[in-house]
Amino acid sequence: MKMITESIRSVGVLVPAIARPLPDGKYELISGHRRKRASEILGLSTLPVIIRVVDHDTATVMMVDSNFQREEILPSERARAYKMKLEAIKRQGARNDLTSDQLGQKLERKSSRALIAENSPDSSTQIQRYLRLNELIPELLRMVDDRKIALTPAAEISYLTKEEQEILLVTIESEMATPSLSQAQRMKHISREGKLTDEMILQIMSEKKKPECWDLVFPMNKVSKYFPKSYTPKRMEETIYGLLEGWRNDQSRREKT
């Protein structure tokens, strides 16, 4: 908010907010809430706004997509936003009074999760993990926000019943350790069989963790901006390996000198 306020103080609001008219003659802000708040802090009486005549569900989708443009979003915020967007898209698909034939055709051709991924920074698989966070008890969700539990293990834990999650929370506090991905997957599997007891959770959490195997993945939208448009993903990969090889050789020469 401080950065936005200083920016508006210097150059004004460069990007208009978006609002929609309501039946009672008032307007509902869809995006630009922080710009509005910063303008209020500065004592400005007006705010540039684009008016869009859209229904509630379309406004929800637009609001979620605009919020994802923020640099820092907590996992819990992202989880709630994706849930709101999913519910709005499902309602749109269930309605028969849609005025846009294009939207109707889009809903028929794509799954809800694929539609959520549009204009979103995450893949459909990652979106599913965020959606699962909504099934966590508040205490475990806060641990995800605090980066004490990683997203993928947290998504696996979300399949445990609320009672099992409560027991896991007590175990985490007593053992002073959070579950690894493999531990979370095991608890999920045993829970589905209806055999996850207090003792079994403690036994799994008391085990010495094995090093997790993982792959380093670079989002294409963040990598491609450094290459000419003519570069294929394969050529980008080869170029990155070449640069890393040169960097390693340079480091070796520096260590010798």
Q: Tokens for 118? A: 């549009």
Q: Which is higher by pLDDT, 227 or 64?
A: 227
pLDDT of residue 113: 63
CB atoms within 10 A of CB 203: 11
Q: How large is the average pLDDT for residues 158-170?
A: 95
Question: In 3-state terms, what secondary structure has residue 146?
Answer: coil
Q: What percent of the chain has pLDDT over 70?
A: 80
Beta bridge partners of 21: 27
Backbone phi, psi, residue 43, to 5°: 80, 20
Number of residues assigned to the chain: 257
CATH class of the domain at 1-53: alpha beta
Q: What percent of the chain has pLDDT over 90?
A: 37
Residue 102 has pLDDT above 60, yes or no: no
pLDDT of residue 229: 80
Which residue type is seen at 246? G
Q: What is the mean pLDDT of the chain?
A: 82
Q: Tokens for 181? A: 């991905």
Q: Please state, in angstroms and rounded to a whole number, the distance separating the CA atoms of residues 94 and 44.
A: 42
Q: Please state, in angstroms and rounded to a whole number, the distance separating the CA atoms of residues 42 and 156.
A: 45
Q: How large is the average pLDDT for residues 126-148?
A: 93
Residue 255 has pLDDT above 90, yes or no: no
Q: Where are the domains of the chain?
A: 1-53, 55-135, 137-206
- One DSSP character per residue, 63-95 reads HHHHHTTSS---HHHHHHHHHHHHHHHHHHHH-
pLDDT of residue 110: 59
Question: Residue 93: which residues within 8 A CB-CB, separation 6 or more?
Answer: 107, 112
Q: Where are the alpha helices (DSSP H) in 12-55?
A: 33-41
Q: Please state, in angstroms and rounded to a whole number, the distance separating the CA atoms of residues 239 and 190.
A: 45
